[in-house]
Structure 1
């Protein structure tokens, strides 16, 4: 989180031997942090106490003692030392900053905010208090305030990776009412960050909508307005355009380009950047946009013409084939078309073939080829590792078939945060509830139902000394994840198999993460019990389950439209169009609010996301108040909800308690008043008590 390194000073005001003792203690404190040695921290404490006794009126020894005790987890003692320091000098930025860190560790966000704000008012450069203040605002869900602060800090430190990551977190919750041309330029710069830039999508889409709304207030919007918008062009290749208005705008632009270009099979240079951007967007959303019958017929003709041109393979034919392929790619991921076998490298790399189109197609085809290669080496649970392919009697459940056809979720970015200790993170998240956890040289972690592997790779990247195993039914999903691990220099054990068969792993795990999986099993409790059986006593499990309250609209849609039977690409496109632009939602019994909740979900903007969101063949929903009993039947005990943003604010408003301390019954009370609070699932931790604890 924040650096706790003490500032180097010339140590003014020390008397006698206190100076030497302080230097020794400070040096050991720094070494203890660098080397992770608690014995050095204990030595530093002894020397710092002696320094204080030698010179009780010196501020710096109080600050050092507070920092040492903070790192040792002795928060009451740390708070006492910070209080002594503030008594000596109430306007000390260093003591105020330390006091803020202690309050933050105690989950006293209001108190921490006050300390950091006071330090910032005194000086914005003497400490990292401005960074910590922005962090507090982010934790409290004050996104606009946090965003403005991180934005200002980044102007001063543009290469700070920590600030970049936090800015994007804040941006995910920002709501702005006016178009900001300066911000639009900054967004283009932020797209080059190494972190999870998909967090910038809502802010980007909001700015685009505000710009086009302003133009429409003066005159009709034209396609040239899109051609001249670098933010739109850049955004289309980076994340799904998860907004119904922008989707309508881009489908209209797509039709305009198709209509202007089909006959001559040559795309105007001015239209080329937008056409490429739409093609990249189509790859991201998997061709989820609705098509008219006429468009479908034109694409079918283009596929026939394109095939003949690729066969001829002369310069003139390949130039026309290039335009043909780009038009098709605006409607279909090219690797899913009949042209796929003819898109040979020597044809795509021919000088007559447009370079931009060539790069796009080669990248898409290479990604598909990589996934195929990785699928060939992923072992199957319960079978010999030398025979990785599924046996003929492998369970072909409807769920497995769904994710084999539509691997989910499709993702591009992992994020970029400093590596930390997994158990230490949990203890800080839920203070006092996981005190039994102890540091270990390496943790064995299972991601059960890993899907396309993003969470498994995030664990391997963001936490030190984890051995991560990723298990899933879908070979296509596993190969998606495995093909990406080399991009980040990570290592994960990928295994195809059923959660019900996890005992065949012949391993026990310190931690298990199972998000969005159990509610798709025929019997979620049976799956949980299977996972509990391989979780070590004292181990932790993270679960994410659908909320009955949050999914009422989707449950109504599933029942009245029989959406679990919808599985083809064209059916999914029609369902999306019916919900977004027709009255199918109202006919199915949904309120306007419920329709809008679906239409504004990120998952609604890809075929795999839509199918997972609305058309899953098996789905169970839960009431959070009953979770404790459900967990106990599997030998597990509730720890706490993983809460942020609005949930943190509501916990304080309703119960004047930190969110980590709320019980499931308390969360149920909040959810009754805020039914969409857990639209993204309940996410919570449980632990498996040791036998002695059960007794």
Structure 2
């Protein structure tokens, strides 16, 4: 008589041979001898592959009941439930997987994807732990966990001394209340500090709180008064400095703060680390402090100096090495280039190394990919990680953006990406063709977007795939309202103009449109706010316009890149279109749900 383990080994041999019915029979025999988590787990996976969802869930839950620390079963349950629209239990199982195997990067990526952009209404300790684990990892696109991080922060009882100050709107009261707070340990909480270092926080209350906290640190330090944070003061100052650097110093500054900064410059030049960290909360360090030396150098300040001084110095050297692929003659292209030379974005530091595209699962070795309008390189790096055997070329108008992109790619071990300065409108003259072209958030900044699209189509090989990201006319109505006011009132697109608009947004465009814009992450960094509201050139599309362009260019729509949650909603509304390929249906869906594509239409199409 065979043991349970022998049946299990026989089942796995059948699995390797892709003989799943035979494998399932052996797994059932293994369970009959001795119920065991491994057999139930493998049964669950086979049931899921065969489309037997209830049986898959039951088997995996039984595996977890037998072995509560079975990270594989928890992770697979999370994936299955999420892909089938059951997000809340998926989050719970994903947390269990991460707790059982905190060093497993796949489980971190799964959790990030499942909880992405979700605001929580109550506090879950397990979610806080999982979020902190993700924030401390360098292989995550941290932007995706911003809303769960923020809502967890606001509901965490341990952080109440900090979050109570979110309700204080004027600085004088903020300073008094903070000075009288008996327990300030929340300000040094690793969860709070990790969020400051990693995230742009799209929340007015939090922005005002951080603006007040920055001034409190400055005032006390300039006056020579003790700060209440004890040994956490440098941690707080350095985390806040990184936060301000990544939002490109969008916070409002009071004249009293500007008056205090010269004193801190004097102290920083004399070797005071805290003064340097606080200066970094107000302005970049590179120009004035590129030769700074401190001994001893605190670890948190060393990180700050690396990011704010060493990296920009590297980018400055890289600029001169970037080849020019095409001339930039078009007036609109030149204006767009100027904007992104001044404000390259986004400033990103980490990235999800496990991104998969719904519309492009595999590519043959040596396939040629073009990232047209690569910006600071986030999508280029992700694409190269996803398809490491591909040959990737990334072009952009802005040398500042390209230098940032090339530095990041090199530091992440991807020196093979070919970065070059080029104008999409001139790419046909290069005589190159590509198997895949990715151009997200680019064509709508060309005077004639269809012309740019047609040029990309012409350098795409027949049968090749193209991923485009285009602004939605319906999804950007609040942005359009802002554009009209900015143009009418002639608000300049410089730092002062952007800060003026942000400060007076409700008065300028009304509460409804303001509320919509205040939910956007782009509103909370200087480069992205300029791109959102003050761009020198923007057009928007409807799905009808996209359908017409596809027809004119002899291209086939092959699907949107969307979340499983949105896919479930669409499939419920249009069960007769399970693959979501009807643009007519999507147009009706968007009219019923105007925020569906408030970011962009991100979709794949194929050259016929």
Q: Structure 1-normalised TM-score?
A: 0.75
Mapped to 2, the partners of 1:185 and 1:647 lie a distance apart of 27
CA contact (8 A) 2:434 2:460 kept: yes
Show the counterpart of 2:389. Answer: 465
Task: Please state if 1:568 is matched with 2:494.
Answer: yes
CA contact (8 A) 2:150 2:201 kept: yes
CA contact (8 A) 1:640 1:684 kept: yes
Show the counterpart of 1:118. Answer: 58
Change (3 A) 1:290 1:615: same
Note the 1:100-179 alignment, pairs <5 A: 100-103=48-51, 113-124=53-64, 130-179=74-123
Show the counterpart of 2:353. Answer: 416
SS state of the match for residue 442, structure 1?
coil
SS state of the match for residue 117, structure 1?
helix
Q: Which stretches in structure 2 are left out of the alignment for 5+ residues?
A: 28-38, 169-176
Show the counterpart of 1:401. Answer: 338
Deviates more, 1:480-489 or 1:132-141: 132-141
CA contact (8 A) 1:564 1:617 kept: no
Show the counterpart of 1:10. Answer: 6
Change (3 A) 1:127 1:115: farther
Mapped to 2, the partners of 1:531 and 1:660 lie a distance apart of 26
Return the offset for 1:138. 2.5
Return the offset for 1:509. 0.5
Change (3 A) 1:470 1:564: farther
Task: Please state if 1:630 is matched with 2:593.
Answer: no
Return the offset for 1:255. 1.5
Query: Which of 186, 207, 222 is equivalent to 2:178?
Result: 222
Change (3 A) 1:210 1:62: closer
Show the counterpart of 2:313. Answer: 369
Task: Please state if 1:665 is matched with 2:584.
Answer: yes
Query: Which of 242, 256, 264 is equivalent to 2:224?
Result: 264
Show the counterpart of 1:481. Answer: 405
Task: Please state if 1:252 is matched with 2:212.
Answer: yes
Mapped to 1, the partners of 2:164 and 2:289 lie a distance apart of 47
Change (3 A) 1:625 1:646: farther
Return the offset for 1:617. 1.0
Query: Which of 552, 559, 575 is equivalent to 1:640?
Result: 559
Note the 1:17-416 alignment, pairs <5 A: 26=14, 30=16, 59-60=22-23, 94-103=42-51, 113-124=53-64, 130-181=74-125, 183-198=127-142, 199-211=144-156, 215=161, 222=178, 224=184, 226-264=186-224, 270=230, 271-299=233-261, 301-302=262-263, 306=265, 317-319=270-272, 322-335=273-286, 340-345=287-292, 348-351=293-296, 356-357=300-301, 359-382=303-326, 397-416=334-353
SS state of the match for residue 196, structure 1?
coil
Mapped to 2, the partners of 1:439 and 1:325 lie a distance apart of 48
Cα deviation code 1:227-271 (max 9, x no counterpart): 343321221111222221111111111111222121339877623
Mapped to 2, the partners of 1:269 and 1:144 lie a distance apart of 37
Change (3 A) 1:166 1:439: closer
Return the offset for 1:279. 1.2
Return the offset for 1:128. 5.1
SS state of the match for residue 264, structure 1?
coil
CA contact (8 A) 1:204 1:235 kept: yes
Cα deviation code 1:366-420 (max 9, x no counterpart): 010111111111100137xxxxxx9x999862111111111122211111328x8
Return the offset for 1:635. 2.6
Task: Please state if 1:455 is matched with 2:409.
Answer: no
Change (3 A) 1:454 1:92: closer
Change (3 A) 1:377 1:564: farther
SS state of the match for residue 493, structure 2?
coil
SS state of the match for residue 638, structure 1?
strand
Rg bigger for which structure? 1
CA contact (8 A) 2:498 2:529 kept: yes
Show the counterpart of 1:34. Answer: none
Show the counterpart of 1:510. Answer: 435
Mapped to 1, the partners of 2:42 and 2:289 lie a distance apart of 67
SS state of the match for residue 365, structure 1?
helix
Change (3 A) 1:674 1:396: closer
Mapped to 2, the partners of 1:203 and 1:650 lie a distance apart of 21
Mapped to 2, the partners of 1:357 and 1:12 lie a distance apart of 54
SS state of the match for residue 450, structure 1?
coil
Return the offset for 1:323. 4.0
Show the counterpart of 1:684. Answer: 603
Change (3 A) 1:574 1:509: same
CA contact (8 A) 2:474 2:594 kept: yes
Change (3 A) 1:374 1:60: same
Return the offset for 1:12. 8.7
Mapped to 2, the partners of 1:193 and 1:487 lie a distance apart of 16
Change (3 A) 1:119 1:539: same
Mapped to 2, the partners of 1:217 and 1:453 lie a distance apart of 39
Change (3 A) 1:341 1:287: closer
Query: Which of 597, 600, 617 is equivalent to 2:516?
Result: 597
Change (3 A) 1:665 1:222: same
CA contact (8 A) 1:539 1:687 kept: yes
CA contact (8 A) 1:265 1:324 kept: no
Cα deviation code 1:306-325 (max 9, x no counterpart): 2x567xx6xxx333xx4433
SS state of the match for residue 57, structure 2?
helix
Return the offset for 1:649. 2.0
SS state of the match for residue 151, structure 1?
helix
What is the total number of aligned residue pairs between the two structures? 570
CA contact (8 A) 2:71 2:97 kept: no
Task: Please state if 1:557 is matched with 2:490.
Answer: no
Return the offset for 1:194. 3.6
Show the counterpart of 1:577. Answer: 503
Mapped to 2, the partners of 1:439 and 1:427 lie a distance apart of 8
Show the counterpart of 1:71. Answer: none
Mapped to 2, the partners of 1:128 and 1:325 lie a distance apart of 47
Return the offset for 1:298. 3.1
Return the offset for 1:99. 3.3
Return the offset for 1:96. 4.9
CA contact (8 A) 2:44 2:57 kept: no
Return the offset for 1:547. 0.7
Cα deviation code 1:146-166 (max 9, x no counterpart): 211110122222222211110
